[in-house]
Amino acid sequence: MLSKTILIVDDNKSVITSLELLFENIFEKVISTCNPERILSILELSQIDIVILDMNFSAGVNNGNEGLYWLNRIHEIDPELPIIMLTAYGDIELAVKALKKGASDFVLKPWDNSVLIDKVKSAIANQKDKKPIKKPGSTIICTPNKPVMVIGQSFQMKKVLRIVEKVAKTNANILITGENGTGKEMLAKEIHRLSLRNNKEMITIDMGAVSESLFESELFGHEKGAFTDAKDSRIGKFEAANGSTIFLDEIGNLPFNLQAKLLAALQSREIYKLGSNRKIPIDIRLITATNRNLIEMVNKSLFREDLFYRINTIHIEIPPLRNREEDINLFIDFFLKKYSSLYKRNGLSFHPQALAKLLSHDWPGNIRELQHTIEKAVILAEKDKISTSDIIFSNEKEKTYTKITSSLCEIEKEIIESSISQNKGNIKAAAEQLGISRQTLYNKLKKIK
């Protein structure tokens, strides 16, 4: 029996039953579903090793586009996951098309059991060595050539994701709020991914980084000669986002005098390029985000009330990491795997005391701070176990080694000297704190003196 998991996706329950009986004595675990919409959640919650996927799911539809669509969506999450397509006899051209799009193989219905088993075993044997990008029970999403998105698995984040699932396929304007580093942009990307506009890229603008003089040009575009440096005509972000989603990050940083121009575009769904009188209709889905209290800003006349209500059809508040204990473990595990792979430190794990130190921290910088902390720990660790001395928080001002200097040698020197000082010159105690032998510490002292 293979200690692996197979996922079977077919809308025909008799096909599901037949394949379950065929593979139950071959695979350690067999997961099946008649509903392809469940594929992504299954991939998030379970480590799948191979998929058998039907080509058609809707009654009367036999063009195979549904199967090709889900083939693509599965490979967005795990590009190396082997997929065997099930197709009706006579659809050879369709099966070949699936192979060109990344399927491992195909099987014609009705299938020969021995042939199907051989194809499945061959696909697994040919699977490239790869590290799992998700762990059971986590909410992790990955798209090709883009950063992996980690959302969370805590009760608070599941509540947020339930709202996301309800509103993603609508065109409702969404305001995402939360402290710095909580993952507002990641959530905006997830909303776009689940939307009906995900065939186009989401356009992002950092409103705090757009200068007042270039605001209209950046958002709405300009014609050649519209101002001194306008040597060529260009489209703005709103026009680029036509038919897609536009994400206005740090909306609370937009100067009051520019808020009216943004509001006018959102109300009319029309823009004018600088230097032109021609109206350009825009079809966008708006998502905004801020770490500021917009209601308080409205009360202080720092943010327009009409603009606030325009962007705030749906409000999603992301709780800080300190209130999401379940997610801390998820992020620790995720970032450890990410940076262990990046810095070729495979096999790293946390000493129990180091893990306890991470879990007891209140993370004022939220996910961003945790990410940087784990990255530094992976770089500094000398052994396969990351020790407490490798965990350096950004707010530990009393520790001089929190300032990352120009080289690892300098960092190492500062850490060693700090540890010896903390242990009042006791080399044995300092070595234990650093997680190295006393002889190793003596050798390092010789090098840095």
Q: pLDDT tens digits, residue range 173-191? A: 999 999 999 999 989 999 9
Most trustworthy range by pLDDT among 55-59, 354-358, 436-440: 354-358
Q: How confident is the model at residue 106 (pLDDT cuts 50, 70, 90)?
A: confident
Q: Please say if the pLDDT value at position 164 is more than 70.
A: yes
- For 168-317, CATH number out of 3.40.1410.10, 3.90.1150.10, 3.30.1490.20, 3.40.50.300 equals 3.40.50.300
The structural domains of the chain, with segments of one domain joined by +, span: 2-125, 168-317, 326-448
Q: Whole-angstrom Cα distance, residue 20 to residue 8?
A: 8
Q: Which of 127, 128, 147, 76 is nearest to 338 (CA)?
A: 147
Task: Identify residue 424 by its one-letter amino acid code.
Answer: K
Would you say 52 and 18 are in contact if contact means Cβ atoms under 8 Å apart? no
Q: Whole-angstrom Cα distance, residue 369 to residue 121?
A: 43
Q: Please say if the pLDDT value at position 194 is more than 80.
A: yes
- Identify the pLDDT of residue 135: 39
Q: Please say if the pLDDT value at position 142 is more than 70.
A: no
Q: How confident is the model at residue 222 (pLDDT cuts 50, 70, 90)?
A: confident
Tokens of 260: 């009216």
| Fold agreement between 2-125 and 168-317 | yes
Region 1-29 average pLDDT? 89
Q: Under 8 Å CB-to-CB from 383, ≥6 apart: which residues? A: 435, 436
Would you say 391 and 354 are in contact if contact means Cβ atoms under 8 Å apart? yes
Q: What is the pLDDT of residues 345-366, one digit of tens each?
A: 888 999 989 999 999 999 999 9
Would you say 68 and 98 are in contact if contact means Cβ atoms under 8 Å apart? yes
**Strands 234-235, 221-222: pairing kind:** antiparallel
Q: Please say if the pLDDT value at position 95 is more than 80.
A: no
Tokens of 378: 């992976």
Task: Identify residue 10 by its one-letter amino acid code.
Answer: D
- Superfamily, domain 2-125: Response regulator (3.40.50.2300)
Q: How confident is the model at residue 144 (pLDDT cuts 50, 70, 90)?
A: very low
Would you say 392 and 411 are in contact if contact means Cβ atoms under 8 Å apart? no
Alpha carbon 388 to chain centroid, angstroms: 28
Q: Please say if the pLDDT value at position 318 is more than 80.
A: yes
**Strands 174-177, 314-317: pairing kind:** parallel
Q: Whole-angstrom Cα distance, residue 102 to residue 195?
A: 24
Q: Please say if the pLDDT value at position 79 is more than 70.
A: yes
Q: Which of 353, 437, 338 is nearest to 391 (CA)?
A: 353
* 276 vs 245, more confident: 245
**Rounded to 5 degrees, what angle do the CA atoms 333, 337, 339 make?**
120
Would you tell me how many other CB atoms lie within 10 Å of the CB of residue 47? 14
Note the CATH number of domain 326-448: 1.10.8.60
Q: Please say if the pLDDT value at position 263 is more than 90.
A: yes
Question: What's the order of all strands across the beta sheet hosting 83-88?
Answer: 27-33, 2-9, 50-54, 83-88, 105-109
